[in-house]
């Protein structure tokens, strides 16, 4: 869903989910919206790249959980993240979308709050505004991998120290443990849904006043952090100047080379930090334009994908239909060829049979070549049997013809022309001619019987 895509409904609940990278923001969202996949990071790199709302239903209300990229130790990235957050908040403000609350996640497994943890907490406080703390849930994560006593001790530190969560808690924020399960995730959502009240964050008010991000409380925190880094780099650069001078006095070429390289690196770092700081000079108008362009890009991409999918679907359908037609044509062709083959065979076989039967028995004269019995499975079977018989007849006829021919080397009367002698089958192989004639008679009789059976089934 994109900002402004949904018709406005004041009953909808919007909750921003924030915290440093790896604190478990996306894991919390996944517990709330289990059908969403691949949003949780697998390694130490920041994973979530943009502000993305995920929809769930809670006690009959539409709830949108806005996953956000986590701040990390890189100033360049932090400024981009703050600009992205400010852009999202400015655009949603323009679209009359108001947040109901914010959830800030913090991993309890870390023994101490680092400098950047504190800085990011300050960014969060200033972005939200102390006056909005009753809309905030401060959640600790990673309880399952933390020694319970140590976890409780750290939690206690968080809520008792002014520079940590104490002021926020005193101003109305609630502290909840996210146990990486659905029940604790729902408890966090419930707290904000039950409050049922919209709020405008401090940074939204500031941006509405026409300030650049640099001039908002959150922006100033990042700017101070960058300025501190520039100062540190400048100090280091000065030291490297001294190192270089000393190395030259000592005629230590290696040390001089090292100092020179360090100077180059520090100068590049300072230039990069100053460039990053300048990125904070972005106005609300520019942020909204950037968001609009981004939304347009996403929509165009979605439309392109939709059309591509549609086209692929049509092509697939066309391919299927072409394949269907080809298969139909093949079946039809096979069928036709089969029918033609059978017909030719039937015509020939029945014609031959009719002639044979008429000659042999004088019966069944009514079976002529013109008669074409209907093709049934039994008939096809009969035809095959007939073919076998016919082949056998041909075989025997050929053999008989061969045996009756006079030997080429003698003009004397052949043994084949002598009266047939009846010999027992066992000693007579190949069988003498008269036996073969008898066999032919049996075969012809069999074929006649078959032809008659066929006739009956036709009639």
Ligand X SMILES: Nc1nc2c(ncn2[C@@H]2O[C@H](COP(=O)(O)OP(=O)(O)OP(=O)(O)O)[C@@H](O)[C@H]2O)c(=O)[nH]1
The distance of closest approach from Cβ of residue 301 to ligand X in the complex, given in angstroms and rounded to an integer, is 22
Residue with tokens 């900002």: 3
State how far the Cα of 166 lies from the Cα of 136, in Å rounded to an integer.
Answer: 13
- 90-119: contacts with ligand X (CB under 6 A): none
Q: Using the rule CB under 5 A, is 48 a contact of Mg ion?
A: yes
CB of 74 to ligand X, least distance (A): 12
Identify the three-state secondary structure at position 201.
coil
Determine contact, residues 140/178, Cβ cutoff 8 Å.
yes
Q: Which positions from 131 to 170 touch ligand X by CB under 6 A, shown as an x/- string?
A: ----------xx-xx-------------------------
Least distance (Å) between residue 16 CB and Mg ion: 13
Binding to ligand X in span 169-228, by CB under 6 A: 180
State yes or no: residue 47 binds ligand X (CB under 6 A): yes
Nearer to ligand X, 44 or 429 (CB): 44
Per CB under 5 A, 46 contacts Mg ion: no
User: Angle CA(168)–CA(173)–CA(175) in degrees, nearest 5?
Assistant: 105
E strands present in 59-211:
61-67, 101-107, 136-141, 174-177
54 is an interface residue for Mg ion by CB under 5 A:
no
Between 50 and 395, name the residue whose CB sits nearer to ligand X: 50
Q: Rule CB under 6 A: is residue 389 a binding residue for ligand X?
A: no
The window from 46-54, 174-182, 311-319, 366-374 that contacts Mg ion (CB under 5 A) reads 46-54
Q: For residue 421, what is the DSSP state?
A: -
Question: For ligand X, how many residues bind (rule: CB under 6 A)?
Answer: 21
236: three-class secondary structure by DSSP: helix
| Residue given tokens 């076989």 in the structure block | 349
User: Do the beta carbons of residue 390 and residue 352 sit within 8 Å?
Assistant: yes
Residue 346 is a binding residue for Mg ion (CB under 5 A): no
Binding status of residue 204 toward Mg ion by CB under 5 A = no
Stretch that binds ligand X, among 21-29, 164-172, 430-438, 443-451 (CB under 6 A): 21-29
Q: Which of 3, 14, 24, 47 binds Mg ion (CB under 5 A)?
A: 47
Kindly state whether residue 88 participates in binding Mg ion, applying the rule CB under 5 A. no
Q: Please report how close the Cβ of residue 270 comes to ligand X at its closest, in angstroms.
A: 27
Options 24, 53, 101, 151; binder of ligand X; rule CB under 6 A: 24
Rounded to the nearest 5°, which phi and psi values hold at 122? -65, -40
SS3 15: strand
Each residue 10-29 as x (binds Mg ion by CB under 5 A) or -, in order, gives ---------------xx---
Residue-wise burial string across 443-455, b where 16 or more C-beta atoms lie within 10 A, e elsewhere: bbeebbebbbebb
User: Of 87 and 448, which has the nearer Cβ to ligand X?
Assistant: 87
- Concatenated DSSP letters for 242-267? HHHHHHHHTT-HHHHHHHHHHHHHHH
Could you say whether residue 48 binds ligand X (CB under 6 A)?
yes
Query: Residue from 4, 41, 356, 373 that binds ligand X (CB under 6 A)?
Result: 41
- Which of the choices Mg ion, ligand X, none does residue 53 contact, using the CB cut-off of 5 to 8 A by kind? none
> Residues 363-388, buried b or exposed e (16+ Cβ, 10 A)?
ebeebeeeeebeeeeebeebbeebee
Helix (H, G, I), strand (E, B) or coil at 200: coil
180 vs 146: CA distance, rounded Å: 12
Angle at 348 between CA 342 and CA 350, to 5 degrees: 95
Nearest distance from C-beta of residue 255 to ligand X, angstroms: 41
Q: For residues 230 and 266, give the distance between their C-alpha atoms in angstroms, rounded to a whole number.
A: 9
CB closer to ligand X, 140 vs 216: 140
Specify the residue, 29 or 367, whose C-beta has the smaller distance to Mg ion. 29
Q: What's the rounded Cα separation, in Å, for the pair 366 and 356?
A: 13
- Tell me how far, at minimum, the Cβ of 19 lies from ligand X, in Å: 6
Angstrom distance (rounded) from CA 291 to CA 298: 10
Residue numbers at the binding site for ligand X (CB under 6 A): 19, 21-27, 40-42, 46-48, 69-70, 141-142, 144-145, 180
Residue numbers at the binding site for Mg ion (CB under 5 A): 25-26, 47-48
């Amino acid at each position: 869903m994109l900002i402004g895509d949904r018709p406005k409904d004041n009953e909808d609940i919007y909750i921003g989910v924030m915290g440093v990278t790896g604190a478990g923001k996306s894991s919390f969202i996944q517990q709330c919206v289990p059908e969403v996949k691949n949003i949780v990071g697998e390694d130490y790199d920041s994973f979530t790249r943009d502000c993305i709302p995920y929809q769930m239903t809670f006690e009959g209300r539409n709830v949108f959980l806005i996953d956000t990229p986590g701040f990390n130790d890189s100033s360049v990235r932090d400024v981009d993240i703050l600009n992205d957050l400010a852009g999202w908040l400015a655009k949603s403000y323009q679209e009359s979308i108001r947040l109901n609350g914010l959830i800030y996640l913090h991993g309890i497994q870390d023994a101490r709050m680092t400098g950047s943890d504190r800085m990011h907490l300050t960014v969060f406080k200033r972005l939200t505004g102390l006056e909005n703390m009753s809309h905030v849930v401060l959640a600790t994560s990673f309880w399952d991998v933390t020694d319970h006593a140590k976890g409780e001790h750290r939690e206690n530190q968080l809520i008792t120290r002014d520079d940590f969560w104490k002021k926020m808690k005193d101003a109305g924020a609630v502290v909840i443990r996210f146990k990486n399960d659905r029940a604790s995730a729902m408890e966090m959502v419930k707290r904000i849904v039950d409050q049922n009240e919209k709020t405008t964050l401090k940074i939204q008010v500031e941006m509405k006043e026409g300030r650049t991000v640099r001039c908002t409380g959150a922006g100033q925190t990042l700017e101070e952090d960058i300025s501190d880094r520039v100062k540190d780099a400048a100090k280091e650069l000065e030291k490297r100047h001294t190192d270089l001078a000393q190395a030259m006095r000592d005629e230590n070429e290696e040390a001089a080379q090292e100092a020179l390289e360090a100077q180059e690196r520090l100068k590049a770092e300072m230039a990069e930090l100053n460039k990053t700081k300048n990125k904070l000079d972005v106005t609300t108008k520019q942020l909204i334009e950037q968001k609009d362009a981004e939304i347009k890009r996403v929509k165009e991409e979605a439309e392109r994908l939709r059309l591509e999918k549609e086209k692929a679907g049509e092509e697939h359908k066309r391919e299927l239909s072409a394949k269907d037609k080809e298969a139909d044509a093949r079946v039809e062709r096979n069928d036709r060829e089969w029918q033609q083959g059978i017909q030719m065979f039937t015509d020939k076989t029945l014609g031959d049979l009719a002639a044979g039967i008429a000659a042999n028995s004088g019966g069944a004269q009514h079976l002529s070549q013109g008669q074409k019995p209907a093709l049934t499975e039994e008939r096809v079977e009969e035809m095959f049997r007939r073919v076998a018989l016919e082949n056998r007849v041909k075989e025997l006829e050929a053999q008989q013809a061969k045996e009756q021919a006079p030997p080429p080397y003698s003009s004397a009367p052949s043994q084949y022309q002598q009266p047939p002698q009846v010999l027992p089958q066992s000693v007579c192989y190949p069988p003498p001619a008269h036996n073969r004639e008898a066999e032919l008679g049996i075969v012809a009789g069999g074929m006649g019987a078959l032809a008659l059976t066929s006739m009956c089934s036709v009639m």
